[in-house]
């Protein structure tokens, strides 16, 4: 018998629900004093709990302007809702509470918090009243909207529209605009209440597309929706034309001027094996081999990068960061020190920049030709050089120095006169790479004339 009783008891629970399940009544009252009620009435809608306009009509049996509806929901219920003035499944009659304290979620609905007992809500259409009273509305203000279609194709039969929350309840074809002087700028003047307006433009069957990042200066993004925003004040205003699909008027967006920056590094003293040096910095997100460098044939590697004006950190590396400069503690050149890194930096202002050649991990040029032959060393500096005297140091006893260009043409002979330190002016030389040999044809080194 106990088994039978248990079975009957479980069947009773399944048929009637949990013995502990409770239901509550939520009564919603909205004051429509500030609005002419649509002939189809007022509706509660929104979220998964209240459906679309038309599903939940409200009533005003005593014609006092306060519309009411009651709902049975489980204890602990929570959900969002809104009001629409009229049976408008497209939400064209939806109240606008954007920017108000009671607005909730990406659609600017209202929220019923978690509720465990009967609840009565008293509010005002379009306002956040909690006692059912309504503040009088200010007189509507005339606002003239303009959209410039200069960068779009408007067909002969295409109509340009504006649509928005308080403009027409987001009905894309309810409010056409006109271009009476055929200048490609369409306009319309609307009477709007003070407060925030969200809106967009429509050409033919094409809704404009606004980027939440690039167009953030004139838009508000809520969830997946990015709309233009404007705050209506107390006075009428003619707004500057909006360029379709962009903030500002067409032609107002000026492309930034960019300048060529030439980076050069001398790899002559690098002892590690490498294949391709690169320059990495804030301009390429330190990507690795985005900006490989080219060998000029004398240990100097270079590359040109086009940059907008600004300050950029960078350093030289090779083979996708296999090796990189060690700049810690380096002084005497443009080094930016932070707690985590030491980097070179370059400032781009209003002209192209050609950086001086620097030796890997230093602030100076390499002694390009600390070369040896027959056990003798030679140093050539400054290198590269743009003007003035180039100096050669080493055992030059009874050996003149011959200077050749990259074509092998002899351009200069410097008598040694038994000295271990020679100098000569490079002012008459053309820009380029030059090699120096002793009388026996042994290469002493090379230098760059800038």
**Mean pLDDT of all residues in the chain?**
85
What CA–CA distance (Å, rounded) separates 165 from 107?
Answer: 10
Taking residue 109's Cβ as centre, other Cβ atoms within 10 Å add up to 21
| 24-49 pLDDT per residue, tens | 999 999 999 988 899 999 999 987 78
pLDDT digits (tens, 9 = 90+) for 383-410: 788 888 988 887 766 678 888 876 667 8
Number of domains the chain is built from? 4
Would you say 22 and 75 are in contact if contact means Cβ atoms under 8 Å apart? yes
CATH number (domain holding residue 376):
2.60.40.3080
pTM: 0.42
Strands (E), 125-276: 141-148, 160-164, 185-192, 195-203, 206-207, 219-222, 225-232, 237-238, 242-243, 259-266
| pLDDT of the residue at 160 | 96
Supply the pLDDT for residue 377: 64
Specify the pLDDT at position 314: 95
Q: What is the tens place of the pLDDT at every residue in 306-355?
A: 998 888 999 999 999 999 999 888 776 788 877 678 899 999 988 999 99
Mean pLDDT check: name the lowest of 117-121, 246-250, 284-288, 409-413: 409-413
Same domain, 352 and 375: no
Judge whether 201 lies within some domain. yes
Structural domain containing residue 220: 141-243
Find the CATH number of the domain harbouring 182: 2.60.40.10
The phi, psi pair for 166, rounded to 5°, reads -85, -10
Confidence of residue 367 (pLDDT cuts 50, 70, 90): low
Question: Beta-strand (E) ranges in 240-334?
Answer: 242-243, 259-266, 277-281, 294-295, 300-307, 310-318, 323-324
* Mean pLDDT, residues 353-368: 82
Give the chain's length.
Answer: 450
* pLDDT-above-90 percentage for the chain: 45
pLDDT in the model for residue 265:
94
pLDDT number for residue 17: 46
On whether both 380 and 343 belong to a single domain, the answer is no
The first and second tokens of residue 99, run together, are: 């920017």
Cis peptide before 384 (omega within 30 of 0): yes
Residue by residue, DSSP assigns 109-132 as: BEEEEEE-S-EEEEEETTS--SSS
pLDDT for the residue numbered 363: 83
* Pair 236, 266 in one domain: no
Among 359, 391, 418, the domain boundary falls at: 359
């Amino acid at each position: 018998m106990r088994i039978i009783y248990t079975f009957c008891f479980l069947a009773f629970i399944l048929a009637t629900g949990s013995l502990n399940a409770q239901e509550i009544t939520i009564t919603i009252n909205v004051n429509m004093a500030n609005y002419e009620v649509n002939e189809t009435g007022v509706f509660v809608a929104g979220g998964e709990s209240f459906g679309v306009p038309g599903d939940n009509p409200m009533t005003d049996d005593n014609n006092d302007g306060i519309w009411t509806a009651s709902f049975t929901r489980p204890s602990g219920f929570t959900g969002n809702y809104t009001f629409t003035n009229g049976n408008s499944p497209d939400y064209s009659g939806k109240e606008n509470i954007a920017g108000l304290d009671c607005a909730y979620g990406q659609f600017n609905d209202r929220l019923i918090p978690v509720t465990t007992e009967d609840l009565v809500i008293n509010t005002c259409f379009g306002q956040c009243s909690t006692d059912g009273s309504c503040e009088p509305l200010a007189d509507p203000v005339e606002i003239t909207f303009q959209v410039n279609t200069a960068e779009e194709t408007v067909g002969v039969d295409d109509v340009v529209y504006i649509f928005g929350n308080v403009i027409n309840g987001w009905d894309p074809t309810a409010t056409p605009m006109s271009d009476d002087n055929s200048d490609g700028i369409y306009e319309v003047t609307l009477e709007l209440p003070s407060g925030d307006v969200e809106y967009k433009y429509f050409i033919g069957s094409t809704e404009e597309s606004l980027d939440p990042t690039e167009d953030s200066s004139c838009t508000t993004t809520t969830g997946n929706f990015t709309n233009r925003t404007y705050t209506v004040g107390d006075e009428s205003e003619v707004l500057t034309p909006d360029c379709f699909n962009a903030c500002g008027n067409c032609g107002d967006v000026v492309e930034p001027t960019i300048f060529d920056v030439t980076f050069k590094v001398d790899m002559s003293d690098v002892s590690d094996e490498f294949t391709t040096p690169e320059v990495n910095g804030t301009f390429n997100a330190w990507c690795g081999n985005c900006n490989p460098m080219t060998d000029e044939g004398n240990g100097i590697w270079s590359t040109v990068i086009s940059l907008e004006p600004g300050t950029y950190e960078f350093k030289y590396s090779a083979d996708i960061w296999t090796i990189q400069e060690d700049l810690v503690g380096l002084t005497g050149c443009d080094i930016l020190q932070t707690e985590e890194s030491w980097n070179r930096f370059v400032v781009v202002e209003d002209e192209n920049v050609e950086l001086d050649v620097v030796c890997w991990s230093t602030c100076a040029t390499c002694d390009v030709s600390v070369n040896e032959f027959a056990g003798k060393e030679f140093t050539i500096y400054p290198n590269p050089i743009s003007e003035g005297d180039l100096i050669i140091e080493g055992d030059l006893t009874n050996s003149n120095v011959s200077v050749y260009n990259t074509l092998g043409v002899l351009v200069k002979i410097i008598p040694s006169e038994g000295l271990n330190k020679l100098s000569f002016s490079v002012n008459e030389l053309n820009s380029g790479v030059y090699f120096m040999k002793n009388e026996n044809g042994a290469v002493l080194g090379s230098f760059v004339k800038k």
